[in-house]
């Protein structure tokens, strides 16, 4: 199965929103009962149009033999309290279940990393639900290590 990664354009926003919607349903819906799983349908097109138009934003789509397989959304951030830090934040990522373990996720992360390095990122960050052990293992396999811990009391 040949995986290709393309940078999303305005014409590809519907495909991106579909993938993000699936992530909200699969991951957020499973791990956060307050997650608004309908947010991508209502607000996604405008949100991702802004990301695509921002030089500090990146929206990628994965295709496996031409079939939509997943997405990655990344942002570059700075911090007033951490001068010199240019943080590449992996904001959202999903690979469709039938395309997992085919290299699609790794291809997305590789392209994100290359983009961030071209834009002089000094570090990379991603968050995942603590219960999503598969995602955490995937990110660890790509060099991410624990940095902060968020605790919640419901």
pLDDT digits (tens, 9 = 90+) for 78-115: 999 999 999 999 999 999 999 999 999 999 999 999 99
Considering its fold, how many domains does the chain have in total?
A: 1
pTM of this prediction? 0.95
CATH of the domain at 93: 3.40.630.30
Place of tokens 């085919």: 102
The stretches in the chain having pLDDT less than 70 are none
Nearest-angstrom CA–CA distance, 48 and 54: 10
Whether 149 is covered by a domain: the verdict is: no
The residue assigned the tokens 């699936």 is 22
Domain assignment present for residue 111? The answer is yes
In a domain, 17, yes or no: yes
Q: What is the pLDDT of residue 1?
A: 78
Domain presence at residue 151: no
Structural domain of residue 74, as residue ranges? Answer: 3-141
End-to-end CA gap in the chain: 43
């Amino acid at each position: 199965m040949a995986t290709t990664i393309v940078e999303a354009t305005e014409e590809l926003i519907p495909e991106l929103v579909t993938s993000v919607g699936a992530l909200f349903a699969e991951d957020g819906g499973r791990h956060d009962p307050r997650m608004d799983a309908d947010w991508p349908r209502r607000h996604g097109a405008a949100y991702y149009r802004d990301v695509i138009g921002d030089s500090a934003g990146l929206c990628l789509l994965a295709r496996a033999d031409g079939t939509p397989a997943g997405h990655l959304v990344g942002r570059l951030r700075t911090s007033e309290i951490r001068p010199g830090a240019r943080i590449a934040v992996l904001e959202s990522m999903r690979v469709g279940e039938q395309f997992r373990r085919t290299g699609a996720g790794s291809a997305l992360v590789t392209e994100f990393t290359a983009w961030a390095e071209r834009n002089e990122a000094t570090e990379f960050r991603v968050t995942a639900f603590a219960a999503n052990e598969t995602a955490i293992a995937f990110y660890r396999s790509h060099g991410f290590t624990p940095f902060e811990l968020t605790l919640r009391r419901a």
